[in-house]
Homo-oligomer: A and B are copies of this chain.
Amino acid sequence: MVRQRRPTITDVARAAGVSKGAVSFALNGRPGVAEETRQRILAAAKELGWTPSHRARALSASRAFAVGLVLARPPELLGVDPFFPAFIAGVERVLAERNQALVLQVVTSQRAEEDGYRRLAADGRVDGVFLLDLRVADPRIALLKQLRLPAVTLGRPDVASPFPAVLVDDRPGITAAVSHLVELGHRHVAHVAGPEHFLHGAARRDAWEGALRAAGLPPGPCVPSDFSAAGGARATRQLLDLADPPSAIIYANDLMAMAGMAVARERGIDVPGGLSVTGFDDTELAAHLSPALTSVRTDPSGWGGVAARTLLDLIDGDGVADVEMPPAQLVVRASTAAPPPTPHQAP
Q: A interface vs B, CB < 8 Å?
A: 51, 53-56, 58-59, 62, 64, 66, 73, 75-86, 88-89, 92, 96, 99, 101-108, 112, 119-120, 122-125, 228-230, 232-233, 255, 258-259, 261-263, 265-266, 281, 283-285, 287-290, 292, 300-301
Q: Return the chain B residue nearest A229 by Cβ.
A: B288
Q: Point out the residues of chain B lying under 8 angstroms from A292, CB to CB.
A: 262
Q: Point out the residues of chain B lying under 8 angstroms from A64, CB to CB.
A: 55
User: A58-B58, A288-B233 are known contacts. Are A51 and B103 too (CB-CB below 8 A)?
Assistant: no
User: A55-B59, A290-B266 are known contacts. Are A284 and B86 too (CB-CB below 8 A)?
Assistant: no
Are B80 and A283 in contact, CB atoms less than 8 angstroms apart?
yes
CB distance from A296 to the nearest CB of B (A): 14
* Bound complex: CA A288 to CA B53 (Å): 51
List the number of copies, as a whole number.
2
Q: Which 7 A-B pairs have the closest CB atoms?
A: A79-B82, A262-B290, A229-B288, A259-B288, A54-B123, A265-B290, A104-B104
Are B85 and A51 in contact, CB atoms less than 8 angstroms apart?
no
User: A85-B78, A285-B259 are known contacts. Are A54 and B125 too (CB-CB below 8 A)?
Assistant: yes
- In the complex, 23 of the A-B residue pairs with CB atoms within 8 angstroms, ordered by the A residue number, are A53-B59, A54-B123, A55-B58, A55-B62, A59-B59, A66-B125, A78-B89, A78-B301, A79-B81, A79-B86, A79-B283, A80-B283, A80-B284, A84-B85, A92-B107, A99-B123, A101-B103, A102-B104, A228-B284, A259-B285, A259-B288, A262-B292, A265-B290
Q: Point out the residues of chain B lying under 8 angstroms from A83, CB to CB.
A: 79
Residue of B80, B96, B108, B288 near A230 (CB, 8 A) is B288
Q: Point out the residues of chain B lying under 8 angstroms from A229, CB to CB.
A: 284-285, 287-288
* Bound complex: CA A141 to CA B228 (Å): 38
Residue of B73, B99, B281 near A85 (CB, 8 A) is B73
